[in-house]
Amino acid sequence: MWWFKCETFVNYYPLINSNSTFVHSVMRHLLLITFLSCLFIQPVFGQTLIKGEVRDLATDDFLDNVNVKNLYSQKGMTIQKDGQFKIEVRRGELIEFTKVGYQSVRIRIQSEKEPLFYKIVMNKAATMLREVDIRGKPLDFKKDSIRYREVYDVVLRKERKEEVDMRSMPLAMLSKKNRQEWAFQEMYEKWEREKYIDFTFNERLVARITYLKDEELKEFMKRYRPDYDFLRTATDYEYLDYIKRCYYEYKKGEQ
C-alpha cells in the first residue's frame, strides 16, 4: 500500500502549478516525508517473530536471565524462568544469547520460517581446571597439538612440497629425505584433522543431544561423521542443528 502511494505521489507531482513557490516548498517537504516513510516502513514487513527455548548443555535444565539480542536491530529481551524466548528477526540477521557464567552463543537466521522452534543450548564458562566449549572439544586437543608441533617442529616448519619451486630446485624431488619429510607433513596434517573431528564430534555431546546409546550411538557417529572443513566453519548452532537433523534422518531410516 505504501509503495502504491509513493509511486502515485511521484507520478502526479509534476502536475502541480510550477509557478507557486509556496506550493513547491510544501510539496517538496511532503515528498521527502513520504519517501522516508516508505524507506523506514518497508523493512518492518519482512520481520518475523521466532520462538524457542534455552537449556543448559550439561543438565538440560531451562536457563533464566539469558539476554537475547538481535545484533542488527539492537532489540532484545531477557528470558524468565521458563527458558522461553521470542524475538523479531529477518533472514541473514545475527542473534546473540548471553548469560553471566556461560559462553555466548550466536546464530545466523537462514530463514524466517524454519525451524519453527529454536532449541538453544548454552555451556558454562571455562574454568581453570578444564575447558569444554559448546561442541564438547576439550582444550586437551589444543595442548596436544602444541606439544606435538614442538616435538616435530624441525620437520613441520620446513617448506611443504607445494611451496617448493621445482623449476629452480629440480633436484629436490630426487631427494629421499625431502620426500620422506613431505610425506610426514601430509600424514601429520591428516592425523591432526581426524583428531580434531574426534574431539569435536564426541560421544558425550552426541549422546546428550540424540539420547542414543551403545551400538546405536557408535553406528550413528560412524555414519554421520562430519568433515573437518564443516566443523571449522560452522557456527555452534549450525553444528548442533546438523546433529539433530542427522538424528531425525537416522530414526526415519529405522522405520
Cite the residue boundaries of each domain of the chain with CATH code 2.60.40.1120. 47-122
Percentage of the residues of the chain whose pLDDT score is greater than 90: 22
Per-residue pLDDT, averaged over 135-150, amounts to 48
Q: Give yes or no for residue 41 having a pLDDT over 90.
A: no
Residue 209 confidence (pLDDT): 87
Rounded to whole angstroms, what are the CA distances from 230 to 8, 57, 236, 250? 50, 22, 11, 20
Give the bridge partners for 205, in sequence order. Answer: none
Backbone phi, then psi, for 56, in 5-degree steps? -80, 130
Instruction: State residue 108's pLDDT score.
Output: 86
Residue 176 has pLDDT above 80, yes or no: no
What's the pLDDT score for residue 80? 84
pLDDT of 107 reads 87
pLDDT at 134 over 80: no
Per-residue confidence (pLDDT) for residue 218, from 0 to 100: 93
DSSP string, 19-34: T-HHHHHHHHHHHHHH
Task: With H, G, I as helix, E, B as strand and everything else as coil, classify residue 206.
Answer: helix
Residue 191 confidence (pLDDT): 79
Q: What does the pLDDT look like over 72-103, one tens digit per residue?
A: 888 999 998 889 999 999 888 889 999 988 88
What pLDDT is recorded for position 77? 92
Please report, for the chain, how many H helices and E strands are present, in that order.
9, 7
What CATH architecture does domain 47-122 belong to? Sandwich (2.60)
Is residue 237 scored above 70 in pLDDT?
yes
Question: pTM for this one?
Answer: 0.37
Q: Choose between 250 and 100: higher pLDDT.
A: 250
Strand partners, 98: 67
Mean pLDDT of the chain: 72
